Amino acid sequence: MKMYTQTDVDPALLGDERIAVLGYGSQGRAHALNLRDSGLDVVVGLRRSGASWDKAEADGLRVAEPAEAVKGAKIVVFLTPDMVQKSLYAGVVDHIDQGATLLFAHGFAIHYGQIDPREDLNVVLIAPKGPGGLVRRQYEEGHGVPCLVAVHQDPAGNALELALAYAAGIGGARAGVIETTFAEETETDLFGEQAVLCGGATELIVAGFETLVEAGYQPEVAYYEVMHELKLIVDLLHEGGLRKMYKFISDTAAYGDMVSGPRVVDEHARGQMKEVLSEIRDGTFARNWIAENEAGMPEFRRMLDADLDHPIEKVGAGLRSRMDWLTE
């Protein structure tokens, strides 16, 4: 494993070079503000009709249409949703300077061939391992969110140095920047959110809720046990791994964890995980997601509506409204 830190970075490399940040959502806002506060020259590229334009201006940033924003920029950062990056690139490519750098926060568009970058351009990845809000907050507090760095195209031989200077600009180098590839970042990121963080965790919660309710237990009690209390466990894991969790839960909980956990996430579940991973690696997932977008996302909406219509959502909303400290 290769990790870069602040001392490996030459922040002067970006000096007064312009950075065009395309998109001003979760990551875009955090990157643009952190780069500006690091003393760099930032312009945000947005559609004039979009909702983010006023927000970026109100934050005191220079804003222009994407094709205008990229002119004269040394680094062009793609921080729009992954599915619009292909058309966004097509709309700006003719305005990007020779030898400039394309920078991504997730490898999807490059790894799955949605963008076939011009050969004179550097193509790099700086992927913060956290949501934009955290990237901004940690920077303001003098810390940083760790990042991954990768280089896909390096015509002039300085792509890695530029990427690391950018990582320092958003605060990531304070926490460490681990070297990876576009393939590894994209595939592990998709697998993590599908099998564990989002898909796996929510399915586990809902299945646990249904098991208790079908057995005749009160939905409110089931909600506290399988959804509400998950935060306590996740916080312990986040702060100190398995060791800290085992230290703070009861011996009864730890014994139950060890004898029952492997029965739920059993060989079948592990086999399913492998299948999910192979569909990410062979491009099946990407093809399906791109096709779903092109079709106007009917299946996406149908599945989301079904999830949001689940009884656990009504029970949870009622209980959460009585815990006003949750929204503080």
What does the DSSP 8-state code read for residue 105? S
117 is in the binding site of which of Mg ion, ligand NAD, none (Cβ under 5 to 8 A by kind)?
Answer: none
Q: How far apart are CA 188 and CA 193, in angstroms?
A: 9
Closer to Mg ion by Cβ: residue 202 or 293: 202
Closer to Mg ion by Cβ: residue 26 or 202: 202
The reply to whether 128 sits near ligand NAD by the rule CB under 6 A is yes
Parallel/antiparallel/unpaired status of strands 147-153 and 122-128: antiparallel
Per the CB < 8 A criterion, the answer to whether 227 and 209 are in contact is yes
If DSSP codes are grouped into helix, strand and coil, which group holds residue 273? Answer: helix
Stretch that binds ligand NAD, among 114-122, 128-136, 140-148, 314-322 (CB under 6 A): 128-136
The reply to whether 127 sits near ligand NAD by the rule CB under 6 A is yes
Closer to ligand NAD by Cβ: residue 22 or 121: 22
106 annotated active-site: yes
Rounded least distance, CB 66 to ligand NAD, Å: 5
* Residue of the chain from 18, 32, 74, 82 that contacts ligand NAD (CB under 6 A): 82
Per the CB < 8 A criterion, the answer to whether 46 and 29 are in contact is no
Angle between helices 159-169 and 26-37 (to 10 degrees): 90
The reply to whether 79 sits near ligand NAD by the rule CB under 6 A is yes
The reply to whether 202 sits near Mg ion by the rule CB under 5 A is yes
If DSSP codes are grouped into helix, strand and coil, which group holds residue 228? Answer: helix
Residues 20-49 that bind ligand NAD (CB under 6 A): 22-28, 46-47
Stretch that binds Mg ion, among 113-121, 124-132, 202-210, 311-319 (CB under 5 A): 202-210
DSSP string, 33-97: HHHHHTT-EEEEE--TTSTHHHHHHHTT-EEE-HHHHTTTEEEEEE-S-GGGHHHHHHHHGGGSP
24 is in the binding site of which of Mg ion, ligand NAD, none (Cβ under 5 to 8 A by kind)?
Answer: ligand NAD
What does the DSSP 8-state code read for residue 129? S
Q: Which of 31, 106, 111, 152 is catalytic?
A: 106
Residues 87-106 that bind ligand NAD (CB under 6 A): 88, 105-106
Edge-first strand order for the sheet with 73-78 is 3-4, 177-179, 147-153, 122-128, 101-104, 73-78, 18-22, 41-45, 62-64
Residues 45-74 that bind ligand NAD (CB under 6 A): 46-47, 50, 52, 66
88 is in the binding site of which of Mg ion, ligand NAD, none (Cβ under 5 to 8 A by kind)?
Answer: ligand NAD
Which amino acid does the sequence have at 319?
L
If DSSP codes are grouped into helix, strand and coil, which group holds residue 206? Answer: helix
Rounded least distance, CB 44 to ligand NAD, Å: 9
Residues forming contacts to Mg ion in the complex (CB under 5 A) are 202
Residues forming contacts to ligand NAD in the complex (CB under 6 A) are 22-28, 46-47, 50, 52, 66, 79-82, 84, 88, 105-106, 127-128, 131-132
Active-site residue set: 106
